Structure 1
Amino acid sequence: MTEKYELDMDTLGDIYEWVDTFSITRPKKNIARDFSDCVNMAEVAKHLFPKLVDVHNYPPANAVPRKITNWNTFNVKVLKKLGMNFLTSDDIQNISSCVPGSIEWCLNEFKQASEAYFAKKQSSQPSPQQKKISKPDPKATKEEHHEEEELDDQSSEADFDSPSPVQKEPTPPPAPKEETKKQPKQPQKRPLVQTEERSINSSQSVAILQKKHDEELAEKDAAIEQLKDAIDTLSQKVSKMEQMLRLKESRIQTLTMKLQQSGSY
């Protein structure tokens, strides 16, 4: 264990109790191994920041490169967006490789950073007294509205009673038919609002389809990685079983030879 990851017993106890307050799919047996692929870490962050974390981006993994990929995704999409830039490439390598003390240090840093984040967010919100002061008085607004209506009624009555001093001008004679025929008709300009709305809707639909396509590709990649991990584990088991069979066959051959030699005597 490096000096960076050394924590006292009280801090470790607080971290383990803090982790137990969250419901995670994988039970905490060996915390270094269980948190090495970032799946449990993503679930803990999902409880604290549900709109920011998507658990589907962190598929379970057995190989170290795939674990590093999950941690890099978590570092970029969660920690850096929250301003928690405490993970380096060496830290990610150590956590993915199950270096003792590395995941406890990471959880402690994330716990302290999240608590500071929520404390700062709560201090920036207005107090209940300020909210009461900012609320308008409904009685005052009703009185102001009533006064405005009375002023509007008075102005409308004054306009209705006062005679208009301006006399109507005589209407001009109609233009001759020949001149009206010669005047070209001006084309009506079609409003651009509908075309702009259509372009906005089409761009939004394209963005939604692109997002769905990217999510499907990410899910397929995750499934492929899981299948690769399963194939690796199965191939290792097959090779071990073949080795055991060869050992048993050689043992059988030696025993048969011994039996034949003892029978010849």
Structure 2
Amino acid sequence: MDYDSELSEDSLQSLFVWIDGIPLSRKKKNISRDFSDGLLVAEIIAHYFPRLVEIHNYVSASSINQKLNNWGTLNRKVLSKLHCTVPADIMRKIAECSPGIIEVFLLGLLRKIESRLMNNRQSTQGNTPESRPYYIARSSENDYAVKNPIPLAQLDLGSLDNQTRLILEEKEQALLASQETVQILQVKIRRLEHLLHLKDLRLQDMEQRLTRFDSVSSIQSSAQRR
């Protein structure tokens, strides 16, 4: 990731919409400060891949050292698995709340999450318990409430014949694929909806400016006639 790059307004707004759509332990007020200790980053990843993150490893922190401890653990145990590790100098900048850094990281994380969701749907590795993304999705008018089913591996299926077990496993894989597709589409829909809202606001602003310009022109024309 290029941490020296400056994100566009559309990219930032799309990022904020994505973050606001995830239930976090505290509301986003100042993104550089709120995400500086790594806790909310861990919560975001846990929202999509609960088996990948042990939230108790991360604590809300105000000291630089504790923030760096959180980020070190997150880097080693979680981000490395997403191929989204953070260099030591960038971790310190994030911990020190340097502006513009965490936004670049989060946008990169969003892309990694979307890529992993897509790969999980297409990969046979979805059979392993560690990589199964069971979701408890945010419920709203535009979202599907996805339950957290019990994996077949945790059930006693010894009394079933092989054919029945095979059918159940196929159904489970189809369910996982559907859940992952819903998650990906929900993220994309929220981003597109917000981009449309931004364009509407810009059109309204342009119309207001045009109205003010017409008013000023009319006043100037009247003054010149006098």
Q: Which residue matches 1:112? A: 111
CA 1:25/1:103 → structure 2, altered by over 3 Å: closer, same or farther? same
Three-state SS of the structure 2 residue aligned to 1:4 is coil
Q: Distance in 1 between matches of 2:41 and 2:74?
A: 9
CA drift of 1:5 comes to 4.2
Q: Which residue matches 1:123? A: 122
CA 1:137/1:46 → structure 2, altered by over 3 Å: closer, same or farther? closer
Q: Which residue matches 2:6? A: 6
Q: Which residue matches 2:24? A: 24
Q: Which residue identity does 1:52 align to in structure 2?
A: L
Q: Any runs of at least 4 consecutive aligned residues in structure 1 with deviations exceeding 6 A, and if so which?
A: none
Q: RMSD of the TM alignment (CA)?
A: 2.2
CA drift of 1:83 comes to 2.7
Q: Which residue matches 1:47? A: 47
Q: Distance in 2 between matches of 1:77 and 1:96?
A: 18
CA 1:73/1:137 → structure 2, altered by over 3 Å: closer, same or farther? closer
Q: Which residue identity does 2:4 align to in structure 1?
A: K
CA drift of 1:98 comes to 0.5
Q: Distance in 1 between matches of 2:38 and 2:163?
A: 52
CA contact (8 A) 1:37 1:70 kept: yes
Q: Which residue matches 2:83? A: 83
Structure (1/2) with the larger helix percentage:
1
Three-state SS of the structure 1 residue aligned to 2:46 is helix
Q: Distance in 1 between matches of 2:114 and 2:73?
A: 22
Q: Distance in 1 between matches of 2:11 and 2:72?
A: 26
CA contact (8 A) 1:5 1:104 kept: no
Q: Which residue identity does 1:98 align to in structure 2?
A: C
CA contact (8 A) 1:64 1:96 kept: yes
TM-score (norm 1): 0.45
CA contact (8 A) 2:3 2:101 kept: no
Q: Distance in 2 between matches of 1:137 and 1:117?
A: 31
CA drift of 1:3 comes to 6.2
CA drift of 1:125 comes to 4.7
After superposition, give the CA deviation of every residue in 1:43-96 in whole Å (9 maximum; x if it has no partner): 1111011011111111111111110110111011101123333x1011101100
After superposition, give the CA deviation of every residue in 1:152-175 in whole Å (9 maximum; x if it has no partner): xxxxxxxxxxxxxxxxxxxxxxxx
TM-score (norm 2): 0.52
CA drift of 1:101 comes to 0.8
CA drift of 1:137 comes to 8.8
After superposition, give the CA deviation of every residue in 1:154-206 in whole Å (9 maximum; x if it has no partner): xxxxxxxxxxxxxxxxxxxxxxxxxxxxxxxxxxxxxxxxxxxxxxxxxxxxx
The gaps in structure 1 that reach 5 residues or longer are 127-135, 139-265
Q: Distance in 2 between matches of 1:123 and 1:109?
A: 21
Q: Distance in 2 between matches of 1:137 and 1:76?
A: 42
Q: How many percent identity over aligned positions?
A: 37
CA contact (8 A) 1:38 1:70 kept: yes
CA drift of 1:117 comes to 1.2
The gaps in structure 2 that reach 5 residues or longer are 126-161, 165-226
Three-state SS of the structure 1 residue aligned to 2:61 is coil
Q: Which residue identity does 1:47 align to in structure 2?
A: H
